[in-house]
Amino acid sequence: MRRIALAWLVWLGGLGALGLLDYVLRSSDGDIKTGGVPDLLGGVLLVSLGAVSLWLLHQATRNIVLWKRLALIGVQAVAGYSLGVMIGLYYVCGTGIDCF
């Protein structure tokens, strides 16, 4: 159970830290629409955070039957991805960086 909580902490904490870093870099530039974390670096960091979180979920479910394990990890992965998209859109639209 601790590793599941740690996986969520890594994912959400990493998202928060990446958003904060991006906001600080954009604010120091003076224009919120320019600067920030480069797209490639941000993508690599998000994939790395996701991989570490999934690995922690995998480690937390070692003693569970395979199909239950895959279902548990899959549901949490979809929930984490969806939450990450919603947080990202809220950040981008809420700060005025870009909005559709």
Check residue 75 and give its pLDDT: 97
Check pLDDT > 90 for residue 99: no
Give me the number of domains the chain comprises: 1
Residue 98 burial by CB count (10 A; 0-12/13-18/19+): exposed, middle or buried?
Answer: exposed
Residue written as token pair 């928060």: 16
Residue 87 lies in a domain: yes
The DSSP output letter for 4 is H
pTM of the model: 0.89
Rounded to whole angstroms, how far apart are CA atoms 45 and 39?
10
- Ramachandran category for residue 31: left, alpha or beta (phi over 0 → left; psi -120 to 50 → alpha): beta
Question: Tens digits of per-residue pLDDT, 14-66?
Answer: 999 999 999 999 999 888 888 899 999 999 999 999 999 999 999 999 989 99
Residue 100 lies in a domain: no
Residue 22 lies in a domain: yes
